[in-house]
Amino acid sequence: MRRSRLALIALSLVFAGSACSNTSTATSPTTPDTKALVKQILSHCTDLAAPELGEGVLCIDNGFRMKSDDFSFKNWGRSLSAEGNVTAQTLIDLFGHDSVCVAGPQDTCVLRPTAIQKLEEWNTALNGGRCEGLAALSTRFLLRMDSPSTFQTNVTSVSALRQDNKKLNSSVVYWWATQFLNEVTDHAATSRGLSPLRLVDDLIQGIAHSVGYTVGIYNGPSGHSLTPFAVTQRGEDFVIHVYDNNHPGERFELLVNSRTNKWRYPNAFRDVDGSFITWSGGTGSLELTAMSTRKGPFQCSFCNTSLTNSPHVITLASRDNRAAGFIEITTDEGVLRTSPTAIENSIPGANVSIGKGSGGGLITISLPSALNNFDVRLVRVSQDVPAADVVLGLRRSDGASIQVTGNLAHDVLNKKNRSTALISVTSDETAVHAPIENIARLSLSAGSQISRRVLNAGETMAVKPISANSIEVSVKGANGSETPFVPISLTTQTATTELIVSLDDTGQLTFLPSRIAPIQVNAQQPPNFTAGKAAPTTSTTIPSIEISEPD
């Protein structure tokens, strides 16, 4: 084993993380592998006290300090101003102009139909908080990939930045969105497969080599993001010291137990009654995401209509996390359910991805393309909260991208009585059913067309799979009346056309077309990934320590 000496002297890096809340107390006996891992972690630690970090001895510290390197404002959700949320420019900066806009001048953009739907979905998910964006951006400040003065003239510290800074908001949203990209989610999923103690070891060595991390923690369908900046050893616990952007100016502790190989995050969240909640877990609910995974270029998974055997993708975002919707998918082979505290999944080949945010932010479910029969329902947590206002999406491998919005979750969690499924999928068609209580707004994206209809209460629209470069749609009224299927062409054009689907006086489907107007945009600007030379952020001087490196 090689050993390298790391001088931690007023480190000029700036780490940050973010947070956007029930507890598992199961323990397991210490195994030989755990003992060896603990021994390896302890080999990185010193016998030095670190009073600023509470009791215990120092393992590593990158010099990040509160009220200087953290943002002075708290994590927040969707902004009232559209410019403070996900925009067409966000998508262009992530994927490039030609991926999200139809062919045309680079200084204007006519969004593709699926990109229009993605803006609706992501901006709804933003209601759960933008902790991932604050975490990633503050990590970049730590690494000197970004400078506070870039966002605000004459500002030298992160804590001096103002929340109403438009350029800062755009950057936060950009980094928030990276959590949903395959290039990032694949690395995060691999990290979640490692035990908490293994992640502590990786974190120590990563800090030693100036790898910028965010820490992700999960509890049921909710996720949260934190910034790690130091590790100490205290009794049986290794303490990961974090900046939680829900609590600016305060140091928080994520504890990993050396005996049980479990983690816990005490008293960081409040329940609806004001009491503190502790999150905890083991392998599968803790992750490290390195800044390098967010470099790109990124492949846009939603930009084009797919005709391949790709998985069915179902997404759910709630407009109000205090009255969130939860999903139930039933098939002949199993069931997938989410609740405020758990995820149940018995569908072979189904995968669930949880976004960082209160109430889940964005839940993404993939089902095998061979699964041709399933129902999707939404539920609310109790009768005492209003029917959840949500954005529900279905991207079928052989069909149009479907998006339904409105107060859709009327059924109540753990109640046996269930209403008609909101979406029913068979090999022949996809049927979208509006609740009997209220309307639902439906959009279909395929080719260069985005078709919209306000479904009346109890009304159903049936959509056939793609065939002969078109899809066919039919509407069935609450009274049982039904229109013939009518085709919608998928021909790619140089502009995006919006079709308003309605019924004429004879009960036949009609389509009122209009062109989506172009908007002014800037050229794609890939972010800097060259680390700069940092200025000291603290006067604290910590002696050199040895970090063991793998052979």
- Asked if residue 294 belongs to a domain, the reply is yes
Domain stop point among 243, 276, 302? 302
> Which is more confidently placed, 176 or 275?
176
The predicted structure's pLDDT at residue 270: 76
The predicted structure's pLDDT at residue 272: 67
Taking the C-alpha atoms of residue 221 and residue 358, their distance in angstroms, rounded to an integer, is 9
Helix (H) or strand (E) holding 174: helix 166-177
3-class secondary structure, 110: coil
Across residues 478-482, what is the average pLDDT? 92
State whether 505 and 425 are in the same domain: yes
State whether 287 and 376 are in the same domain: no
State whether 147 and 167 are in the same domain: yes
Q: For 421-479, what is each residue's pLDDT tens digit?
A: 999 999 999 999 999 999 999 999 988 899 999 999 999 999 999 887 889 999 999 99
State whether 338 and 297 are in the same domain: no
The predicted structure's pLDDT at residue 425: 97
> Which is more confidently placed, 64 or 5?
64
State whether 262 and 201 are in the same domain: yes
- Could you list the residue range(s) of the whole structural domain that residue 383 is in? 310-518
State whether 351 and 423 are in the same domain: yes
State whether 444 and 496 are in the same domain: yes
Confidence of residue 15 (pLDDT cuts 50, 70, 90): very low
- Asked if residue 239 belongs to a domain, the reply is yes
Q: Which residue spans within 320-385 are E strands per DSSP?
A: 326-331, 335-338, 343-345, 351-354, 363-367, 374-380
- Asked if residue 530 belongs to a domain, the reply is no
Q: For 221-251, what is each residue's pLDDT tens digit?
A: 899 999 999 999 999 999 999 999 999 999 9
State whether 296 and 321 are in the same domain: no
Q: For 245-289, what is each residue's pLDDT tens digit?
A: 999 999 999 999 999 999 999 977 877 677 888 999 999 999 999
- Asked if residue 226 belongs to a domain, the reply is yes
State whether 298 and 388 are in the same domain: no
The predicted structure's pLDDT at residue 353: 94
Let me know: does 367 contact 312? Beta carbons within 8 Å.
yes
- Asked if residue 107 belongs to a domain, the reply is no
Across residues 34-45, what is the average pLDDT? 95
- Asked if residue 84 belongs to a domain, the reply is no
- Asked if residue 5 belongs to a domain, the reply is no
State whether 409 and 324 are in the same domain: yes
- Asked if residue 549 belongs to a domain, the reply is no
pTM: 0.90
State whether 444 and 488 are in the same domain: yes
Taking the C-alpha atoms of residue 265 and residue 269, their distance in angstroms, rounded to an integer, is 9
Amino acid at 323: A
**Number of domains making up the chain:** 2
The predicted structure's pLDDT at residue 415: 86
> Which residues does 332 contact at the CB level (< 8 Å), separation at least 6?
373
State whether 501 and 472 are in the same domain: yes
